[in-house]
Structures are given as structure tokens and as C-alpha cells.
Structure 1
Amino acid sequence: MLRKSYSILLLLLSATTVWAQTVPSPKEHFRFNIGDDYQLANYTQTAAYFQQLAASDRTALVDIGMTEEGRHQYMMIVSAPENIKALQQYKDISQRLARAEGLTDESARQLAATGKAVVWIDGGLHATETVGTHQLIETMYQLVTRTDPETMRILQNDIILLTHANPDGQELVSDWYMRTTDPKKRAMNIPRLYEKYVGHDNNRDFYMMNMKESQNISRQLFVEWIPQIMYNHHQRGPAGSVLAGPPYRDPFNHIYDPLLVTSIDAVGAAMNNRLNVENKPGYTQRNGSTFSTWWNGGLRTTPYFHNMIGLLTEIIGGPTPETIPLVPERLIPNGATPNPVVPQEWHFRQSIDYSVSLNYAVLDYAARYRTELLFNIYKMGKNAIARGSADHWTFYPRYIDSVRMAYKADKKTDSLKERETGGSEFSFGREDTIASKYYAQIFNNPAYRDARAYIIPADQQDFPTAVKFINALSRSGIAIHKATAPFTVAGKQYPAGSYVVKTAQAFRPHVLDMFEPQDHPNDFQYAGGPPIRPYDAAGWTLAFQMGVQFDRILTAVEGPLTQLPYGQIESPLPARLPVAKKGYLVDAAVNNAFIAINDLLKAGVKVSRTSDGTFYVPTGTKATAILTKAAAELGIRVQAATQMPAQLKSISPLRIGIWNTYGGSIPAGWLSWLMEQYHYSYNMLYSQEVDKGNLRKKYDLLIFVNGAIPDTGKAKRADSKLPKPEELSEEFRPWLGRITKDTSIPQLKQFLQAGGKIVTIGNSTNLAYHLKLPVENALMEPDKKGELKPLPGTKYYIPGSLLTAALDTTAPENWGMRARNDVYFDRSPVFRLTPASAGMGIRKLIWFADAAPLHSGWAWGQHYLKDGVVAFSAPIGTGTLYAFSTDIMFRGQSHSTFKLLFNQLYK
């Protein structure tokens, strides 16, 4: 019997070897080895290679959707042939364990014993980080052709989802790099963003999922496969290292299951260990890099909120050889970098080899701990369901601060007595203990409980935007219930069509994160020292950003509710157009209204606005047809006007220019996407066109996003990475250049004086200083010499967070807005209007009325914001400057502030 089994094994290995010999190697297909210096494959070549690998019985090639530029986005599934034949079975097991619904520990262990570890490995999200796509190709080839015991064990126990994250970007970057005949002159200085709209921010889109690629990827991660481990390849490693990887530095988000944090540590140890076994130094972790596990929204971080072990490595290398620089402090072995790398020349293939080793480390770990990984994701899901089914308190820093404050309020001893009776330096930490009753005061207090559910009423003013919020949750695999009839909770009645999101579900951390304020801890390099910048945003609560009205419910919610299928996309509740003899009234508080208005204007229909900003549309065949469609498809509730309103102001479209630059501006890309979603027409405007002048002949309104207008100081050095004009074709030469103080600003001033309108966003509000308007920087204080200086980080620091601001709702610029609204604030400019501003007609639009405006995130020294202005309008000649220092269109997420832009886009 043993001899027969051995013969069968030899036969299988022989067949596998024969097949492997027929698979073209990367060298045979691409005409170079993956990792050869000065060589890159484009996506057309790569997709063709995927098709060839798809002939293997170890693979299944899946088209997960179309990209923004219309390419097919592929995911290659690799596993043992018998697993490939049973993919649906293993997908079902993965889903059931991840969602943890209706399972006991015993049944979960049985499923875990039957299932396969599902591991996601991607590449190419950031297309100029070329190691990512090329390690993906090499890893596929090795997994499909190798027959060593480790590979065979991996294939037997793992299902590997190898996913191309950005096909469009690979095509652009590789073609651009390879266009130069002389290999040593090849460069990455691409002319535009490597994702059609958002470039690098395609890794900031994974809880909103605006981009098609994000939607494709998220469906596989959060709805279809729900892998236990996902590995996101990036560049680049910190100077003096080869790569940064897990485990990561603090803080981690407080709503994670602790099992997630320790699991990241475990896989990170396996990755680091493998490199050390293979004599591959230079791995740095924890405080050796800037990467943390606090933020949601990245391809690697959003999975954390779904109980997945998310891995990120940032490695050096590329097709052009480079040198690892000397960073003396990195040569001292420590917990962050136990095996330092010495300065040396570095080649592309070395980075590929490191990446394949890291992939194998993860896959080997998954194969060895298959049942543990499958059970653990169930366990985290079960824990989440339990927490959402009972009273639960999360240890947020603000609650811990409340414990300290309660203790201090009751303390009777003075500071001297406290020092006399406190612990000594040898008391092993007991000197900081306080009575446990203070814990009970906070964590038995019902006011501090986590929510059991969130109800989104269908009768709120901008319900279509609330539906977009629901769709973002659904794309992320969240369980959502919808009311089939009116129901009552806590004495309040909700209409049919309302949504209920319960927290008793496996992905509870993501639910909390989308509804609750983030509470980032005060994080400084040392006591009294400078702040440590968060990896990305500190606060982002999506419901706040989108202006969604919801009720936070502390008890179980029951009623006529039906659960939507996972991943289902909802449409706004259709409305019927009323019969109107005179005209129609369209509410400007509803974002989708602007889509309908733009469609009306493009059709030649007359549109006006009333004194409060409501749109008025006279009856007519075209108007009726467009508004009927908008009511049905966009959920716009249109009212019939019984008479023509008084004080109507006719509106018409503007000729709009959006500033952009060579290489592509990410904020400009987001803006262009937003304009297209809401049916605005626009042209891209580059600095050379500004400098030529006569802007008024072509444009009515110009938009300068964050990063466009320089400050008033000395001119910055030209970017040495930009190509010279003679190195570019005629198509791209006009894109070179920057807005300058001496040449560009006078042209913008002339444009304004001639009746043009300019909208500035973020630090492009610097234009107000260039124009010498009577406004000042509100974040200054006198130093010891009495000279005004910017507030230091030890006193004031507000990274990306949501702050609540006051608005003048009578101003036409703010029509449709609430009197208090959250704004996305990221070290944004804050102004003080001088007494002379009133005489010039400058109008304050948005300001901080409170000394503590923080709603979500981190704000150190926020009292300095009191009365600070973050938006104003200023007449200049016959034109107008609009200054919005906060990001009113932040990554296509801040729907509640979109109207601050839209209102300015009409004549």
C-alpha cells in the first residue's frame, strides 16, 4: 500500500514537473527576468502573462471588475488543484467563520479544520512603487511552478488571492519609464496621476470606495472572500533600512479585538525571522518607522476593522539601481531593527527576492497555523457580536481622563502630602494607582456605553446622501437592516425605508468607526516635547463628514426589519414629481439637487434661486422630463410652486478652470472626479496658461486646490525631479511650471478685478496674503522679543480631524448648509479679520464659535481656534475671492461641505 501511494505521488510530481516545463518563465514572456535593472513590464504584457499562468490547474483567474480607465482588473487564485476545484466550498467556510453568525465554538472548530487559510497578496497600488507589481508576477510564477515541499504544503493548506491593485497605473508608469532608449536615463517622472483621478490617494479610499478599483478590491476582501490575512506591498523603506514591516508602532485603534493586535505581532515575527534565516538584513519594525494601526481607509488598515491580519511592508528598490545610505543610528541593533543593513549598492532583483521571501513567510505561517487563523477570525467576530449584544464600554482616552478628573476632584490631600505618602522609585508602579471606585463611576455609567444600534431615518432632509453612506457600509461587508414599515424605538417613530445598523455583528469595529468620534491619544515624543504626527488622519468619522442624521440607540432594536444581502447597493427612495402649473421648487440642502440643476442648465432650461437659496424651475416639457427622472433616480423631492417666488436671481453655468500641474495634483484629481459626479463642466488650468494672462476671456471662475498658491516668502527651488521641456513631447510641455509670486499672482489679481471669481482651498488661501487683504494669521503669538511667531507644536497641533464650526446661513455662499457643521481640518490656515475688512466688504462665512470644537480626532491646544475664521469672501474689483481654508471636498468624503463649493459655481 505504501509503495502504491509512493508511486502515485511520484506520478503526480512528474506530471507537475512536465507542466511546469511548459509554462513560460518571465524571461521567456517578457524578454527579461523580473528584477533586471532598467526593465519594467507594462500591464498589457502582465495581463497576457496572467492568461498563460491561468492554464495551470493550480490557478483560477478572476476578473474582479473594470478600472477607471476601462481595463480588466485581475485576481489570480492559486492553490492545490483539488482546492481550486472546490473554491466555492472554501469561500463559504471563510465567509461563515468571518461573520460568526449562528456558530458555536465547536461548529467553528469543525469548519476551521475543514477550511483552508485564505491569504490576500496584492501589488501595484501605488504604481511608481514598481517592486509591488513585479514581485506579484514573480510570486505567481514560483507558486505555479515550484514543487519543493514548502510550496506543496502551502498550496495544500492555503488559498492565495494574488491581486493586481492598479492596472492603469502600471501601464502608464512602465510605458513612461521604458520610452527612453538609453536605460541609464530612464526615470519615473510621469506627467499625470497614476490612478485616473486620485493617484496616491487610491490608498485612502477603502472605507468610502469612490474609485472603481477600490470597489472591486473591497468586494473581494469584505464581501466575497474575507481572508484571514491580507498583505499590502508598498514602498519605500526608511533611509538606512531595506524595509519596514509589522509589528507597527502605537497607537492602535481602541476598538480592535486584542487578538488582532497580537496576531499582527505573530505574523510579523515570522516575516522578520525568515529574512534573518536567509541572511537578508535591514527589516525595521515598531518605532523604526512611521506606520501605525490607528487609521481606517487604507488597503491595509480597513481590514483591521474587519478582524483581518493586515500586513504592510515598505521596501526600497526599483529598476534604476540605488544606494542604501549611511544612517549611523540605524546601525545599532535594537528592538526596532535587530539586524541592520550596511550601506551598499542595491539592485531591483534584491527587492524582488526579499518580497518573495516575505510572501513565503506569510504563506508558510498560514499553512502551519491554518486552523488557528480560521478559528481566530471567528473568535474575534463572536466577541464583536457579544459586545454589541450587551452593555459594553470601550476604553477611550476621554473616558480614562474622566477617571483621573473624578479622582482629582475628590482628592483632599495637598501636593506636599501626596509626595510624602506616594510611592518611592522602588514601588514598582504602585505610586500611580487610585481607588477602583473611580473606574466604576465611569464604566458603570450608562452615559458612556457603546451603542447597540444606529438608526438612519428615511425622513431626513438629505436622505439620498444618507443612502450613499449606507452603500459605503454595504460595500464594506456590514450587515444592514431596512424597515419595511414604520416602527418605534424609545418613543420615537421612524418611517418605512429607514435603515438600522446593529453593532451585534462581526465587523462591529468598522460600524463604530463610521459612526463614533475617533479619540486619538495625546502622542508626543516625550513629556513637553513635539507631537508625533499620525500616519494619516487622526479623525474621520464618515457619518459626520457626510452630514448623515442618525440616532444612537443604547438598547436592542427590533421591528419590521429585513436584513439586506451582504454587499447590496441601495438606491435613494424614488419620489414622484408633483403636478405644477407655475414651477418647481428644489431644495438646495440636498446634494443630488445640484446634479438635476446642472442637467437642466445644460438643456437650456431657465433656473433661478430664491432669497434662501432654493432653486426655482418654471414648468416646461424639458424641465418636467429632467425633474421626473431626477426624482425617480436621485431621490430628489420636488415641490410644486403655487406662485412665482419673489426676489428670484437667475443662474447660469460658469466657464470653470481647475488648477493642475505636471505630475498631477491629487486634490485637483479629487475635484475633477467630484465635478463629473455632479455634472459640472470644467477645464484643467496649468501655470503657464495663468502666466500668459487674459484669463477672463476664457474663464469665469478658477479653483485653486491645496498646494497651488505658494506662501509669501522666498520662491522655492525648482523641483529637480521634473523633466526638462526638451525631454517632453509638445503635449506635456505646457504642464510644467508652478504658480509664482511675481508672474502668476498679478494675472490672478487682474482676473479678479475684471469680474472673475476665484475659489481657494486649504493653503491656497495664501492668495489672500498675496493680495494684501486685511486678514491675519490667527495662530500666532509674540515671542520673548514681542515678535509674532507661529504657535509651536508643543502648544498647538491639529492633524487631520473633524471640528465643528459655525456658519452664516444667510450668506449665498452657504445656502443649504446647517448653522453648525463639521469641517475637515488638517493643520489648516486660520484667519483673523482686521477692523479694515468690514470696510472692504469682506464677509465671514465659517468660524469657530467655541473654544473646544473637536468632534473627532486629535486637537492639542484647540482653544487657540476660538473666533478663528476658516472661510470668507472678499470683493476685489468686480470679482470675488472665496477662501476656504479647510478641505471642503476631502477625498470625496465630506459630502456635508460639498455645497460650499457648488454654491460658487454659478453666475
Structure 2
Amino acid sequence: MTSRFFSLVFAFIFIVGSSLAEESGIADLTHPETYFGFMPGEDRKMFLYEDLIGYLDLLQQESDMVHMIENGVSPMGRPMYITFVSSAENIANLDRLQEINRRLALDGDIPTDELDALVEEGRAFVLVTLSMHSTEVAPSQAAPLMAYNLITGTDSNPAHLDKVVFMMVPSHNPDGMNMIVEHYNRYLGTPYEGSGLPGVYHKYVGHNINRDFVTLTQSDNQAVADIYNLDWFPHVLVEKHQMGSTGPRYFVPPNHDPIAQNIDERVWSWTWVFGSNMARDMTARGLKGVSQHYLFDDYWPGSTQTSAWKNVISLLTEAASVQLATPIYIEANELQVWGKGLSEYKKSINFPAPWPGGWWTLGDLVTYELESVYSLVRTASLHREEILHFRNEMCRREINKGLTEPPYYYILPAKQHDMGELQALLRLLERHGIDLYRMDTDHVMEGRLIREGDYIIPMAQPFRAFIKEVMEEQDFPVRRYTPGGEIIRPYDITSWSLPLHRGLRSLEINTYYSHENLNYSPIRAEELTHRRGLPGDANWLLFSARYNQSFGFAFRAMAEDIQVVRTVEDYPWHEEIVPKGSFLVGITRGNRSTIEALLEKIDIAPIVFAQEPDVATERIRLPRIALCETNFHDMDAGWTRFLFDSYGIPFTVLNPSDFKDVSLDDRFDVIVFPDAPKDQILHGHMTRAGEVFVPFYNPGYIEGMGNEGWQKVLRFMANGGTVVSWANSTALFFGLMSPGEGEENFRFPIRDISGTLTGNGFYCPGSLLKVNLLPDHPVTYGMQGQIGVFHRSSPIFATSIPNFDMDRRVIGLFPEDEDLLLSGYAEKVYLLERQPAIVWLQRGEGQAVLFSFAPNFRGSTPVSKKLIFNSLLL
């Protein structure tokens, strides 16, 4: 009888379910396997971005539970989309639900009755961003099944979609997705199946796409950040990644210490709820190897999870990789753990069901991704009301903190060394959803005169935590594994202060002033540009070397064959001095329209003259630049290309293997070596812990320049060429040089002493350090006398007295200063005192400029860009 009863129940459920499916059109949906011709996750099969978007677009045509909107464009011009999956009623009501999200996120004065009504009407929005790192293919390859299974109830409960709107960025990096899939298919069935893509999987930045969410330089990141900063205000965000192959199979929150101190404890508590439910639900479905509180900390902003500073419950998942879509077999002895949180690959409280080893496939990854999504939706559905109340509670709490806890304001004086960087910072803050204001009258705050026109950022804002995080100098929260024991080292960098990284003055005000006694008005960044048209009597334009954008104008003008000269002396202008090294351009009938078009690309205003100003100048010409970029996922070279493109600097990319065949003297004036290891540039291999290993690339892609290529670089320099090198690539200049047959061996008067200092306890994981610059030198034109530079422990220069036909000058050095560390974390930083940070070398007729730091680190250090620009113009 019992058996017959359950049979009848199941039959009834099947009939009702089938009827509902037919009524909602679910039965007519195209299955992903039918559309693609294979099941997503199948071994050695992947689809392209356009195919993915095509399927999701088909779903929205077939189902009223799916909606897509275009929300941006990739760096290579591909449209980017958000896909919404929810009940038909919710999809039809998205505009109203979006407005509710906005109110809950930004309005701290909603009356209780209205708040309860909004929460009752609202839905929990869960946003997942997929495969920003394009070699981490599984999330995007799982996307069609995520949408289809949620709609149809395959392995999930569709009733949850009554309370939840599932949002999906199907590919955070469309350009990289196609690069990887096309490269994989090219070598399918060959010994290089699953091998590395030569170059970065992005127009510019590759893996560093996940380090850009403070500075927002890349258009794909801007599109994703706009979702939670300005447009949709989701309540939960999940950033889906993959990790190494031989550790845990899957990571879910909570993350490991250290954590960001500015984020409210309630946000962290919610990450436990979602992470613990994922771990529980996935383990209950028989998925082994799920870990928590392991390896990944939650301290630095820069990833998509920067949303946590905007009151979004922000989560990270990481899945163990295969060779793209090729299965791998892992022996038990190869399984290991590293980093923080697990000391052994054994059953632990945060790793309760270790995976035993064996075959691991793309299909396994897809299964883990799907189960994690089902859990996320389920948790959001069960806690919908709490989550929506929480979002408005955080808005009110952050606004109240801004009224009751210091700091209360940040001030950006209107007069800055680089006015263009001030405009850029204000625009950036506005894109982050920050309200900006300008002083209407002078006011004394904490004994300092704040002038009319200065910019003020009150902290009583919903995104207070983010404002504080990016406006203050960073002070790393030291945590230890045991009392008095080893310090828990940071996962990534430790400095991101926007004013300091841009060389701007800012003031932190720790005294509250009532708005009645403090006169300021709201502004929009678009109102602040200094751009203006040319007056009719304009015949000469003078661009101050203090402004980064002046260099952009000069390079673009020279590229248009417009004559540009640089001043060789300071020029007094009213109450300011236009420094030596500034750019003077004459306007003619033939170039006027071009100059007017170029002025539209910058936010600064040149000084306009009817007559040529009485200042000494020298003519400059557009340098012919070779940029060395390896095929080892050379991110810093990509950032350098982005810098050059952004400032209109023409260049030619040379792979290291090209140097042997290219006539450097005939084609180039300057060679740039960005941050890349010497072994990759010279020999086409990599080293770890002093041991050489050959990475999994087609060998034809990674050939180095060899001794022959480097000898050509040395001859290029001796014959009058300029070489610019920074960070790891400066190792090319250390040790014995063998310029070739008939020439004497020599050493440049510079060496790296980082090994010695590191052995003595120096450690700097990525912090801003103080450097004094040599005044009145062509490399430092337009610079302040002291700046912060972004340093990562090595190299550390020491110079020596030169011989043969060589010379050297220290252009920048770390001063003797107890405040040498400006922002971030460092150990025994005093060991750097009096050591060079920038060195100019001369050999024969040529020269080199070497930086011990990356002056364009991840595009986040505008304060030191001019050092590169000036070096190109030597």
C-alpha cells in the first residue's frame, strides 16, 4: 500500500509538472546539447563567445523567464551582456525591481512602513561573473546549463526564482574567451593540446583584468562595475574562478585572514552564510574536495569583489583546473595544499571530504559550478527578506558612520601639481558611485584653510567604506598564525591609495562640521573639465610638463607631423612657474583643425599666446619605439601597450626572438623592456627557486633573443640608442656583458643587492615607498621633488664607479626617512635608505634608464608615468 501510494504521488507530480512546463513553454526550450552539438563540459569541446550569446539570446526568445541586455563593450569591440533568469513575473517587472534595488542601496531615510513594503515587493538579485580569466574556462562553458537548468528545474527548484533574480555576465572577458578557444582548437589532437596561449588573453592586461577594479581602466571591467556601482545594485555577487590542479577541488568562502578592516562585520557574516551553505549543499550532492578558509584572503580591493566595499555580499569561488578542456589524471601523491588555511591534504574542519585523486575533467568542473549556483539561488531565496533588509540597513549604517565616526570628510584641493590627474580621480570616484561636492566659500577646518572651489567628499554616504579605503594611506592589518608567531603574508599588493598613487594632495578631516556651517554644493565630474576651444588670436600653445596629459598632446601632435619644442628653462606665468621641459606648439592655418581635435582628447587647458613666448626651447621629434613583449603572458608589457595607446605613443612590438633579425639601429631610437624576467627574455624559459623549467607552450612561441640578440641591443646602445628598462627586466644589465667578437667584456656600473637585503629581513609585497628625485634632469622634467613609487622587494640597485666608456647617475633614491613607507606594508624598509631607485647609464653614444620599480604598475601609478615619457624623449 505504501509503495502504491508513493507511486500515485510521483505520477501526480509528474503530470502537474509536465502541465506547468507546457504552459510556461519550458517543454519547447532548446537544450544546450541540441544547440551546440555537444553537452557543455564534454571533453575537448568548447564554444566561442558568439555561440554562447547566441544560445542565451535563443533562450530569451523561447522563454519569458530569460532577458538579456547589452551593458558595455570589450576592449576589442565585442558587446557585453547581462542575462537575467527568474520567474516570468519578475522578468516582466525588472524595471520596478531595479528601482527598488536602487532605493534600498542608496536611500538611508526610507520610512519603516515603506521599507517593509519595498522589501515585500523586492527580489534578491544574485549576480555571477564568469571566466574573467579566460584560461579558467568552466564557468562560461557552464553558463548555458546554468540558465537552462534554473528555468526547467533540472537539479534545482524553479520555485526559488519567484524570490530571486539570477543575473549572469556570461563572459567577463569575451576577447580572451575567443582567443583561448581558438588556440585550443588549433592544437587539438597534437602534442600541444591544452598548451599556453602565446601572449595575454585580453587586448592588454590578461590575468591582471582581476586587479583593475579600483582604477577601472579597462572597458570590460567598467561594464561589470557599473552593474553594482550605478545600475542594478545586486545584493549578492559571486566571482567565479579556477585555481591550480593539484590542490582542493573547489574553494568557497569564508576567505582567510587578513580581511579588509573598513568593511562592516555584517558583510563578512553573510559570506559565511552563503559559503557554508555551498559547502554543505555540494558535499551533500557527493562532490568531494570542497575547501573553505583557505589560501585566498579578503584584504585588497582590485578584483570584482571590490563590490564588498559597496555593501554587496561578495563571494569568490575557485575550481581546480584541467588543461582547458582536456582531462587530466592526478595521482594521490601529487595532491597537496599550499598557502594559508591548510597544512596538509587531509580531512580537516575546512576540508572535510578530500578528493582522492584520479581523472579530473571539464565536465567535473561544470558539475561543481552548477551545484554552487543552485546553492546560491536557494540560499538567496530562503533569506530574501533578511537580505533586502540588510542592504538598506548597511546603507543607513554607513551614512550614520559618516556622521558619527572619523574621518568625516576628504578634501581634494583644487590646485594640484597635475590638474589632469585631479580631473581623472574625480571622474573615477563618480563612476564608483561616490557623490562629489565643491566648496562654495572658504572655510577653516581643523586649523587649515579650505578654499572656495576645493573638492569635498563627505563620508556620510552609502559607499563610505570604499571612500575610506581608496582615499586613505594603507596600513596593513598584521595577523599571525599563532600568538607571537609567523605573520600571515598578504595574498597580493598592500597599497592602492588613489591620491598618493596619482601624486595628489588630499586632506583627511576628523572633525565633524554641520552642513549649516559648511557651504558646499553637489557637482558632476563632467562639469569639471578645463577643456575649451581656441580663441581666434591663438597662435602658440604652452603645455606644462607637470601634467601627464601634456605629454599625450605632444606625442599625438608629433604623430600628426606638427612641430613640438620643449622649453629648456622655467617660464614665469602670472603667479606660477611653467617648468622646464614643457611643450610649445605653434598654430598654423594648416594644423589648426588638427590641434583643435587633439585638444578634445585632454582635460587640461594650455596657456594660449598670440605671440611666441620669450622662452628658450629645443626641438624634439617623435621617437621610434620598440617594445619588447614576451609570449609568457607578459602582463606588464600589456599594461605598457595600454599606456602608450592611451597617450598616443606609436610603438612596434618586438618578441625577443625578433631581435636577432631586426636592424635595431635603422628602425628604432628607443627600446623598452617592461617588467619581465631575464631568463624569459634571453633564453625563453622560466626559473623557480633557481631551477629551470620549461612551461607548456609550443616552443616556437617562446624562443628568447639569445646572446646574439642581446649583443645587438648593446651595440644599439653604444651607437646612440636609448634603452628603458624597469623591475625584473633590469637584470639584463647586471653582471658580465659580452658584446661580441672583437669587443672587450665589461660590466655596467650597477648591480642588484636585493638578495642581500632580503636575507637581512627586507620584505615589500607591493607598497608605495618614498623616493627623492634629482632635480633639473631630463628624466624628471615636470616631476615633484619627492614622489611615491610602487615597489615589490626587488631589484634593489647599487652603483659603482664606472670605467671604460661609461657613466652613471642616480636619478632617484630612497631617502633616509623614518616615513620611507608611504602606504602599505614592508618589513625592515630602512635597509633601502640611500639606495638608488632610478639610475641613468651611459655607454658610448647611447644611454639607458633603469627603474627598480614598475613606473606604470597595473596602470595604477600615474604619479610616475612622466618618468617613462621623459625617458622616451631623451
Normalising to structure 1: TM-score of the pair? 0.85
Tell me by how many angstroms 1:798 deviates.
0.5
Distance 1:711 1:528, change over 3 A: farther
Unaligned runs of 5+ in 1: 1-5, 393-449, 726-734, 781-788
* 1:342 and 2:356 aligned: yes
Write the distance in 2 (CA, Å) between the matches of 1:862 and 1:761. 20
Write the distance in 1 (CA, Å) between the matches of 2:192 and 2:666. 41
Corresponding residue number in structure 2 for 1:22? 28
Corresponding residue number in structure 1 for 2:242? 235
Partner SS for 1:760: strand
Partner SS for 2:352: coil
Question: Out of 650, 655, 663, which is 1:681 matched to?
Answer: 650
Tell me by how many angstroms 1:228 deviates.
1.3
Tell me by how many angstroms 1:711 deviates.
9.6
Q: Does structure 2 retain, via aligned residues, the 8 Å contact 1:576–1:637?
A: no
Residues 355-364 or 381-390, more deviating = 381-390
Question: Out of 463, 466, 469, which is 1:513 matched to?
Answer: 469
* 1:721 and 2:696 aligned: yes
Q: What letter matches 2:848 in structure 1?
A: L
Corresponding residue number in structure 2 for 1:92? 99
Distance 1:632 1:707, change over 3 A: closer
1:456-499 per-position Cα deviation (integer Å, ceiling 9, x unaligned): 2333342221121122222222222245x555353635344x43
Write the distance in 1 (CA, Å) between the matches of 2:536 and 2:800. 51
Q: What letter matches 2:419 in structure 1?
A: F
Corresponding residue number in structure 1 for 2:748? 773
Partner SS for 1:598: helix
Q: Does structure 1 retain, via aligned residues, the 8 Å contact 2:215–2:860?
A: yes
Corresponding residue number in structure 2 for 1:732? none
Corresponding residue number in structure 2 for 1:292? 297
Partner SS for 1:259: helix
Write the distance in 1 (CA, Å) between the matches of 2:49 and 2:600. 40
Partner SS for 1:520: coil
Q: What letter matches 1:811 in structure 2?
A: H
* 1:881 and 2:848 aligned: yes
Corresponding residue number in structure 1 for 2:40? 34
**What is the correspondence of 1:170-209 to structure 2 with a 5 Å cutoff?**
170-180=177-187, 182=189, 186-209=193-216
* 1:758 and 2:723 aligned: yes
Write the distance in 1 (CA, Å) between the matches of 2:776 and 2:697. 46
Write the distance in 2 (CA, Å) between the matches of 1:72 and 1:305. 27
Write the distance in 1 (CA, Å) between the matches of 2:528 and 2:661. 46
Write the distance in 2 (CA, Å) between the matches of 1:25 and 1:888. 50
Write the distance in 1 (CA, Å) between the matches of 2:728 and 2:147. 45
RMSD: 2.8
Q: What letter matches 2:131 in structure 1?
A: G
Q: Does structure 2 retain, via aligned residues, the 8 Å contact 1:653–1:905?
A: no
1:817-840 per-position Cα deviation (integer Å, ceiling 9, x unaligned): 101111111123121222448994
Tell me by how many angstroms 1:693 deviates.
5.5
Q: What letter matches 2:94 in structure 1?
A: L
1:289-336 per-position Cα deviation (integer Å, ceiling 9, x unaligned): 320110101012x01111111111110244211134433764422223
Write the distance in 1 (CA, Å) between the matches of 2:76 and 2:680. 35
Tell me by how many angstroms 1:713 deviates.
12
Unaligned runs of 5+ in 2: 1-11, 337-342, 569-579, 687-691, 738-746
1:381-419 per-position Cα deviation (integer Å, ceiling 9, x unaligned): 2111111112x2xxxxxxxxxxxxxxxxxxxxxxxxxxx
Write the distance in 2 (CA, Å) between the matches of 1:28 and 1:192. 34
Corresponding residue number in structure 1 for 2:575? none
Question: Out of 617, 632, 636, which is 1:667 matched to?
Answer: 636
**What is the correspondence of 1:605-644 to structure 2 with a 5 Å cutoff?**
605-611=562-568, 612-622=580-590, 624-629=592-597, 634-640=602-608, 644=613
Q: What letter matches 1:155 in structure 2?
A: L
Distance 1:81 1:663, change over 3 A: same
Q: What letter matches 1:620 in structure 2?
A: T
Corresponding residue number in structure 2 for 1:83? 90
Write the distance in 2 (CA, Å) between the matches of 1:314 and 1:214. 19
Partner SS for 2:548: coil
Q: What letter matches 1:293 in structure 2?
A: D
Write the distance in 2 (CA, Å) between the matches of 1:284 and 1:49. 33
Tell me by how many angstroms 1:122 deviates.
1.8
Partner SS for 2:291: strand
Corresponding residue number in structure 2 for 1:258? 265
* 1:541 and 2:500 aligned: no
Partner SS for 2:157: helix
* 1:707 and 2:676 aligned: yes
Corresponding residue number in structure 2 for 1:863? 830
1:79-114 per-position Cα deviation (integer Å, ceiling 9, x unaligned): 111111111111111111122432255543442232
Corresponding residue number in structure 1 for 2:619? 650
Q: What letter matches 2:522 in structure 1?
A: Q
Distance 1:184 1:359, change over 3 A: farther
Corresponding residue number in structure 2 for 1:315? 319
Write the distance in 2 (CA, Å) between the matches of 1:43 and 1:297. 25
Tell me by how many angstroms 1:631 deviates.
5.2
Residues 319-328 or 351-360, more deviating = 319-328
Normalising to structure 2: TM-score of the pair? 0.88
Q: What letter matches 1:452 in structure 2?
A: Y
Residues 646-655 or 799-808, more deviating = 646-655
Corresponding residue number in structure 2 for 1:379? 393
Question: Out of 430, 439, 443, which is 1:488 matched to?
Answer: 443
Corresponding residue number in structure 2 for 1:74? 81
Tell me by how many angstroms 1:632 deviates.
5.8
Q: What letter matches 1:707 in structure 2?
A: A
Write the distance in 1 (CA, Å) between the matches of 2:67 and 2:190. 36
Tell me by how many angstroms 1:586 deviates.
1.4
Q: Does structure 2 retain, via aligned residues, the 8 Å contact 1:580–1:619?
A: no
Write the distance in 1 (CA, Å) between the matches of 2:555 and 2:123. 52
Residues 659-668 or 120-129, more deviating = 659-668
Partner SS for 2:470: helix
Residues 643-652 or 157-166, more deviating = 643-652
Q: Does structure 1 retain, via aligned residues, the 8 Å contact 2:257–2:479?
A: no
Question: Out of 530, 539, 546, which is 1:589 matched to?
Answer: 546
Write the distance in 2 (CA, Å) between the matches of 1:890 and 1:185. 32
Q: What letter matches 2:782 in structure 1?
A: G
Corresponding residue number in structure 2 for 1:748? 713
1:335-368 per-position Cα deviation (integer Å, ceiling 9, x unaligned): 2312211112112211111111111111100000
Tell me by how many angstroms 1:208 deviates.
1.2
- The number of aligned residues is 816
Corresponding residue number in structure 2 for 1:434? none
Distance 1:73 1:332, change over 3 A: same
Q: Does structure 2 retain, via aligned residues, the 8 Å contact 1:803–1:856?
A: yes
Q: Does structure 2 retain, via aligned residues, the 8 Å contact 1:537–1:800?
A: yes
Write the distance in 2 (CA, Å) between the matches of 1:10 and 1:903. 74
Distance 1:283 1:330, change over 3 A: farther
Tell me by how many angstroms 1:574 deviates.
2.5
Distance 1:458 1:578, change over 3 A: farther
Q: What letter matches 1:310 in structure 2?
A: S
Distance 1:897 1:46, change over 3 A: same
Partner SS for 2:243: coil
* 1:804 and 2:770 aligned: yes
Identity %: 24
Q: Does structure 2 retain, via aligned residues, the 8 Å contact 1:67–1:167?
A: yes
Corresponding residue number in structure 2 for 1:395? none
Corresponding residue number in structure 2 for 1:828? 794
Partner SS for 1:690: helix
Distance 1:325 1:856, change over 3 A: farther
Corresponding residue number in structure 2 for 1:905? 872
1:165-203 per-position Cα deviation (integer Å, ceiling 9, x unaligned): 111121121122123453886324223321111111111
